[in-house]
């Protein structure tokens, strides 16, 4: 190929999307970042503006997507992705999972591009199988508050496989487990940004339920590596990318307090509806077909993320 590979990343100004833009630029790709800033931020890509191989298109992907010239890869990462966001934007969340996925797949089909869907561990719902392998079909409440996100992603997976089987589109599906790192929004409502912000401000740390529910947190660099390997692999079908090291939310809150040196107390509030009690990826498939597993320890990842949160809160040097 005489030109660099051309890659479209929808939701490219989001937390994960912006890190993917950086990675693909580093790999020599021409990157087209598309976002409507509903939950993404111009700040996340400000440092890329002016790069000769980076282009930004302000667009809502639930509408027809037009990109001039050839495309080799389409990565569909546009979607609200935290409970705060999809409770605030329930219909937009459903639309980007359904109409947005349809438009992005249509573009990939027209361009003959390989398509990668950002799916989620939320397709497993409140799982009855632990840890969760890719062949587990999940336990989701389709009419619950979280259903708008869970079912949007489940539908997106079905649509992706339909385009693969019916139209021959070359597809990949990544099921992303809890991820964290620089460029997370401080107010996105997830455990890590909430705990870190509360700890740094010396506010009480809010734990829902008794804190016995578990999550498995992976650092953004590990996630990006897994996504890149999956895109470049020959494997069609969902692949879990997550860190199998499980921790209770209560223990996690205590870790953040210790890391920040905060004097915050932990307060308990009622558990939200349909909140998963456990979450842990089975990454046997990723190990086998991608040779991938997480490399960054939680302690190291949290240390790097803490520096970002301090900067955002204006606490550097303190």
Whether 6-179+219-241 shares its CATH topology with 182-215+245-279+296-312 is answered: no
DSSP 152-171: HHHHHHHHHHHHHHHH---E
The CATH number of the domain covering residues in 6-179+219-241? 3.40.50.720
Distance CA 53, CA 133 (A): 38
Per-residue pLDDT for the chain (318 aa), expressed as one digit of tens each?
Answer: 689 999 999 999 999 999 999 999 999 999 999 999 999 999 999 999 999 999 999 999 999 999 999 999 999 999 999 888 988 999 999 999 999 999 999 999 999 999 999 999 999 999 999 999 999 999 999 999 999 999 999 999 999 999 999 999 999 999 999 999 999 998 888 999 999 999 999 999 999 999 999 999 999 999 999 999 999 999 999 999 999 999 999 999 999 999 999 999 999 999 888 788 999 999 999 999 999 999 999 999 999 999 999 999 998 765
Domain 182-215+245-279+296-312: CATH superfamily is UDP-galactose 4-epimerase, domain 1 (3.90.25.10)
Positions marked catalytic: 149
Encoding tokens for residue 138? 């999940």
Sequence spans of domains, the chain: 6-179+219-241, 182-215+245-279+296-312
Short-list 218, 197, 81, CA closest to 146: 81
């Amino acid at each position: 190929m005489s030109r660099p590979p051309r890659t479209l990343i929808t939701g490219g100004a989001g937390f994960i999307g912006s890190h993917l833009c950086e990675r693909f630029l580093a790999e020599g790709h021409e990157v087209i970042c598309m976002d409507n800033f509903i939950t993404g931020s111009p700040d996340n890509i400000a440092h890329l503006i002016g790069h000769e191989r980076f282009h930004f298109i302000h667009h809502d992907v639930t509408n027809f997507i037009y990109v001039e010239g050839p495309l080799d890869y389409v990565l569909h990462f546009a979607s609200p992705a935290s409970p705060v966001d999809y409770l605030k934007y329930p219909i937009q969340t459903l639309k980007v999972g359904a109409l947005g996925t349809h438009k992005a797949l249509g573009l990939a089909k027209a361009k003959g591009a390989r398509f990668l869907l950002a799916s989620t561990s939320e397709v497993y719902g409140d799982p009855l199988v632990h840890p969760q392998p890719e062949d587990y079909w999940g336990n989701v409440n389709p009419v619950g508050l979280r259903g708008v996100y869970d079912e949007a992603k489940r539908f997106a997976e079905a649509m992706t496989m339909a385009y693969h089987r019916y139209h021959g589109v070359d597809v990949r599906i990544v099921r992303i487990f809890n991820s964290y790192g620089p460029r997370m929004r401080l107010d996105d409502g997830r455990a890590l940004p909430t705990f870190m912000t509360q700890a740094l401000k010396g506010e009480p740390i809010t734990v829902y339920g008794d804190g016995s529910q578990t999550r498995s947190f992976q650092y953004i660099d590990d996630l990006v590596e897994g996504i890149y390997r999956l895109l470049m692999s020959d494997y069609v079908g969902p692949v879990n990318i997550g860190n199998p090291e499980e921790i209770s939310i209560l223990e996690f809150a205590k870790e953040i307090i210790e890391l920040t040196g905060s004097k915050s107390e932990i307060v308990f509030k009622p558990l939200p509806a349909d909140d998963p009690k456990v979450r842990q990826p089975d990454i046997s498939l990723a190990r086998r077909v991608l040779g991938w597993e997480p490399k960054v320890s939680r302690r190291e990842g949290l240390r790097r993320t803490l520096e970002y949160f301090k900067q955002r809160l204006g606490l550097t040097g303190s």
